[in-house]
């Protein structure tokens, strides 16, 4: 356990280590803690590289990179304390939806490239960028996690072209392009998937995957510019805004997987002991935005940048101690920002690397909830015990017979100041009941009850489509309820009226945190009846006596009642109706109708006139349409020549010509 923090529950584990949801004991702010696997902290080369990168990462403040608050090492473990971001990984979105719109995929990659541009300027490559460590918040913001945490000898998520190494910036750009292909096509950049890439971005994708250094993008910024140019040409100047909105929709559909959507602790032991109560999420966010807190900017123990025993570099920053056993030592950097009190604590043991951990801000609001980094209250000693050492773990050495430093704690320089709330310990705050009472397709009634009067974040999503499994979701709306333990709210959305004579399905889905889960209700909405249109044409296109086709055109999509009567006239007898077919055509203005009716038998040597009579309830411009076809019976046994058959409007020929038409003279081939 990292001192100064309290573990809430385990969130999972991966190739780099175990992930735990935690709280900072001084304020109750939620953070994410990842304990490094021995495979990483037992590798001296990895530790040396990552410790140097951690010096920069704790200072980094980029909206597309998960913020690292502290990096802590002991002789037998290492951990990272990072920003808490409530959302889901890109991998979860792709597992659920397989692909996304080109605008959403480009917006996601645009955020990744913005974060990589910042880290590349510091000389830090990600080394293993993949959908698992790209995170999407409820407002569509994209953040990259797990910088530098590739296990020794580990292969990158996407195979690299010859000449590229995982530690190079160009390898990160290759991985970003592969991620773009997977978002667009649902699979890795193989030949069959590359053929599915939209032509608007195919040139930029080809360059990003190229093995030729001359064709590859020179930097993350250059790659972003090329993709932006292609996106603007294909989708217009608002492409990124629409793409981010679609990302928000995809992430919000998985709101139950957000880290803070799970059960939260009732009380924290440290808070119960000190009489403090966990501050609300609104208070924590307000403290981050304003810098307000119970301490002044000069709070905390005094600084002595020249304390005896401190070794410092030329720029005044503390240097890591040399390997070897010794007593605990604590060093602080000279703050570059007035009022900031970052510190670097070092005691003797092996430097084990640490893992960047992410938990994503759960309410779906545009503001990202940043976990507050540790800070000692005024008047208390800055000394803190190191990370609790797991039992049964061997103590690694540096490889030269010396023991590694005992503990390293690298806090962020400019992290948000803590917000401490006073009062009695609060009971667990959670949503007990969440339901949608009524939903008429435009307005729904939300009922919610909570265990306390604390704030509840609600995300409401309206969707519409032609079938329950083919709904299009509108951008989610997020709001906060506070000050009561039960609420009733009317939620409304301005849907466009359904087209006449059509049926649509509408759904209202509401998610509440903490712990409220999701409620949903679907209803069917039918459009008004279309007025009967004027029929412009009802024409028989083809008819051979047994099958044919009709063409019907109208001036509107309303219902056209079509009647097809099949008739037969034998010899000079009057026509009689064999069958009547009635249909209703709707939804379009032009129709092609296939017709078919068995003609029946015609006696040998006889002729029958088989006809169709086409009419509509509102008569067509030319009136009813009639068409007949002549059908002759088979040749009788005493007849010398076969029976002729010709359309009714074809003039009869002489016997000789008819015979030639039916059976050419012998000898002609």
Q: Which CATH architecture has domain 100-131+155-254?
A: Orthogonal Bundle (1.10)
Q: Are 24 and 7 in contact (CB under 8 A)?
A: no
Whether 66 shows a pLDDT value over 60: the answer reads yes
What does the pLDDT look like over 549-601, one tens digit per residue? 999 999 988 889 999 999 999 878 888 999 999 999 988 899 999 999 988 88
Higher-pLDDT residue of 531 and 581 is: 581
Q: Do the bridges between strand 547-554 and strand 329-331 make them parallel or antiparallel, or are there none, so unpaired?
A: unpaired
Q: What token pair was written down for 482? A: 């506070």
pLDDT at 430: 85
Give residue 539's pLDDT: 92
What count of residues does the chain have? 669
pLDDT at 478: 82
Kindly tell me the sign of the dihedral angle through the C-alpha atoms of 282, 283, 286, 287. Answer: negative
Q: Where in the chain is the domain with CATH 1.10.510.10?
A: 100-131+155-254
Cα distances (Å, whole numbers) of residue 482 to 361, 409, 513: 18, 37, 12
| pLDDT higher than threshold 80 for residue 10 | yes
Look at residue 538 and give its three-state secondary structure.
strand
- Confidence check: pLDDT of 405 > 50: no
Of 565, 559, 564, give the one whose Cα is nearest residue 584.
Answer: 559
Helix axes 90-97, 239-252, angle to 10 degrees: 80
Judged by average pLDDT, the poorest of 176-185, 347-356, 606-615 is 347-356
Average pLDDT, the chain: 75
pLDDT of 436 strictly over 90: yes
Pairing state of beta strands 472-473 and 456-465?
antiparallel
Tell me where in the chain the CATH 2.60.40 domain(s) lie.
431-526, 535-662
H-helix segments, 425-523: none
242-258 as b/e, with b when 16 or more CB fall inside 10 Å? bbbbbbbbbbbbbbebb
| Contacts of residue 574, Cβ cutoff 8 Å, sequence gap at least 6 | none
Torsion angle of C-alpha atoms 195, 115, 416, 420, degrees rounded to 10: 20
Instruction: Answer yes or no: is pLDDT of 39 > 60.
Output: yes
Q: Is the pLDDT of residue 263 over 90?
A: no
Strands (E), 514-555: 517-526, 535-543, 547-554
> What average pLDDT score do residues 394-409 get?
39
Q: Is the peptide bond before 514 cis (omega within 30 degrees of 0)?
A: yes
User: In sequence order, what are the beta bridge partners of 490?
Assistant: 445
DSSP letter string, 335-378? PSSTT----EEEESS---------B--TT--SS--PPPPP-PPT
The pLDDT of residue 480 is above 70: yes
* pLDDT on residue 281: 39
Decide if pLDDT at 657 tops 70. no
Asked if the model's pLDDT at residue 273 lies above 70, the reply is: no
- Which of 306-315, 451-460, 512-521 is the most confident on average? 451-460
Residues 486-518: b if buried by 16+ CB within 10 A, e if exposed: ebeeebebeeeebebbbebbbbbbbbbbbbbee
537-567 burial, b at 16+ Cβ within 10 Å, e below that, comes to: ebebeebebeebebbbbbeebbbbebebbbb
Query: When comparing pLDDT for 199 and 324, which is higher?
Result: 199
The percentage of the chain sitting over the pLDDT mark of 90, rounded to a whole number, equals: 39
Pairing between strand 456-465 and 344-347?
unpaired
Rounded percentage of the chain residues whose pLDDT exceeds 70? 70
pLDDT at 494: 93
Q: Which one of 229-233, 340-344, 395-399, 516-520 scores highest in mean pLDDT?
A: 229-233
Q: Is the pLDDT of residue 282 over 80?
A: no
Name the CATH topology of 1-86+258-296+311-426.
Phosphorylase Kinase; domain 1 (3.30.200)
pLDDT bracket for residue 411 (50, 70, 90) = low
pLDDT at 552: 94
Confidence of residue 395 (pLDDT cuts 50, 70, 90): very low
pLDDT at 65 over 60: yes
pLDDT confidence bin for 295, thresholds 50/70/90: very low
Taking residues 1-16, report their average pLDDT.
85
pLDDT in tens, 508-524: 999 888 877 789 999 99
Residue 640 vs residue 451, higher pLDDT = 451
| pLDDT digit string, tens, across residues 357-370 | 333 333 333 332 23
Question: If you average pLDDT over residues 133-146, what whole number do you get?
Answer: 94
For range 177-193, the mean pLDDT: 94
Q: List where CATH 3.30.200.20 sits in the chain.
A: 1-86+258-296+311-426
Of residues 427 and 92, the one with the higher pLDDT is: 92
The answer to whether residue 387 scores a pLDDT higher than 60 is: no
Mean pLDDT of 614-621: 88
What local confidence, expressed as pLDDT, does residue 547 receive? 93
pLDDT at 652: 52
pLDDT score, position 647: 52
Domain 431-526's class?
mainly beta
Are 616 and 563 in contact, with CB atoms under 8 Å apart?
yes
CATH number of 535-662: 3.40.50, 2.60.40, 2.60.120, 1.25.40? 2.60.40
pLDDT at 244 exceeding the cut of 70: yes
- Mean pLDDT of the 329-353 span: 30
């Amino acid at each position: 356990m990292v001192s100064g923090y309290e573990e809430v529950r385990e969130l999972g584990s991966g190739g780099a280590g175990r992930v735990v949801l935690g709280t900072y004991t001084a304020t109750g702010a939620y953070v994410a803690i990842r304990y490094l696997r021995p495979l990483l902290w037992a590798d001296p080369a990895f530790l040396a590289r990552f410790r140097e990168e951690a010096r920069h990462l704790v200072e980094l403040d980029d909206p597309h990179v998960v913020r690292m608050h502290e990096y802590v090492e002991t002789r037998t473990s290492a951990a990272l304390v990072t920003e808490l971001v409530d959302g889901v990984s890109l991998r979860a979105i792709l597992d659920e939806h397989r692909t996304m719109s080109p605008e959403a995929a480009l917006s996601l990659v645009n955020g990744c490239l913005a974060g990589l541009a910042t880290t590349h300027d510091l000389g830090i490559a990600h080394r293993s960028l993949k959908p698992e460590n790209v995170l999407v918040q409820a407002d569509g913001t994209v953040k990259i996690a797990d910088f530098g945490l590739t296990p020794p000898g580990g292969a990158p998520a996407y195979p690299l072209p010859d000449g590229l190494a995982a530690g190079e910036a160009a390898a990160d750009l290759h991985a970003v392009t592969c991620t773009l292909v997977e978002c667009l096509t649902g699979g890795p950049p193989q030949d069959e998937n590359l053929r599915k890439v939209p032509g608007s971005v195919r040139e930029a994708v080809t360059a990003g995957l190229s093995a030729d250094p001359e064709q590859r993008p020179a930097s993350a910024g250059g790659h972003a510019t090329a993709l932006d140019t292609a996106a603007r040409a294909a989708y217009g100047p608002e492409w990124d805004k629409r793409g981010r909105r679609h990302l928000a929709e995809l992430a919000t559909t998985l709101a139950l997987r957000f880290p803070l959507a799970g059960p939260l602790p009732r009380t924290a032991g440290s808070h119960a002991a000190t009489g403090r109560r966990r501050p609300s999420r609104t208070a924590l966010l307000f403290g981050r935005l304003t810098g307000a807190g119970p301490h002044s900017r000069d709070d905390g123990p005094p600084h002595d940048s020249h304390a005896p025993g401190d070794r410092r570099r030329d720029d005044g920053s503390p240097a890591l101690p040399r390997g070897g056993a010794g007593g605990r030592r604590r060093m602080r950097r000279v703050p570059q920002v007035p009022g900031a009190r970052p510190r670097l604590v070092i005691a003797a043991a092996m430097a084990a690397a640490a893992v960047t951990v992410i938990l994503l801000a759960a309410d779906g609001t545009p503001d990202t909830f940043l976990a507050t980094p540790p800070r000692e209250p005024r008047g208390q000693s800055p000394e803190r015990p190191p990370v609790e050492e797991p039992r049964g773990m061997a103590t690694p050495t540096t490889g030269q017979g010396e023991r590694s430093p005992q503990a390293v704690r690298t806090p962020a320089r400019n992290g948000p100041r803590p917000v401490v709330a006073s009062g009695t310990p609060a009971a667990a705050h959670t949503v007990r009941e969440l339901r949608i009472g009524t939903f008429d397709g435009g307005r729904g009634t939300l009922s919610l009850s909570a265990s306390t009067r604390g704030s509840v974040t609600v995300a409401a999503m309206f969707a519409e489509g032609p079938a329950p499994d083919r709904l299009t979701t509108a951008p989610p709306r997020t709001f906060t309820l506070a000050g009561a333990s039960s609420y009733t709210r009317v939620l409304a959305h301005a849907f466009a009226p359904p087209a006449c004579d059509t049926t649509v399905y509408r759904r209202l889905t509401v998610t509440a945190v903490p712990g409220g889960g999701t409620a949903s209700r679907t209803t069917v909405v039918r459009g008004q009846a279309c007025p009967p249109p004027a029929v412009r044409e009802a024409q028989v296109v083809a008819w051979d006596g047994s099958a044919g086709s009709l063409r019907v055109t109208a001036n509107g999509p309303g219902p056209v009642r079509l009647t097809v009567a099949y008739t037969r006239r034998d010899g000079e007898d009057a026509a009689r109706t064999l069958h009547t077919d009635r249909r209703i055509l709707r939804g379009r203005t032009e129709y092609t109708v296939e017709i078919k009716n068995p003609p029946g038998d015609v006696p040998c040597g006889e002729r029958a006139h088989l006809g169709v009579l086409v009419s509509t309830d509102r008569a067509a411009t030319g009136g009813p349409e009639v068409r007949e076809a002549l059908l002759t019976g088979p040749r009788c046994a005493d007849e010398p020549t076969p029976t002729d058959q010709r359309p009714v409007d074809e003039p009869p020929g002489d016997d000789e010509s008819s015979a030639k038409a039916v059976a050419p003279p012998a000898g002609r081939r």
